[in-house]
Structure 1
Amino acid sequence: MKVMKFGGTSVGSVNSILSVKRIVEAVDESVIVVVSALGGITDKLINTSKMAAAGDAS
Structure 2
Amino acid sequence: MLNILPLLSAEEHERLMNAIVSLSHNNPNVVSQLEKLADIKENNPKLWQSGIKILKL
Q: How would you bin the TM-score normalised by the shorter chain? A: 0.3 to 0.5
Q: Return the TM-score normalized by structure 2.
A: 0.32
Flag the structure with higher helix content: 2
Larger RCO: Structure 1 or Structure 2 (Cα < 8 Å, ≥ 6 residues apart)?
A: 1
Flag the structure with higher strand content: 1
Q: Return the TM-score normalized by structure 1.
A: 0.32
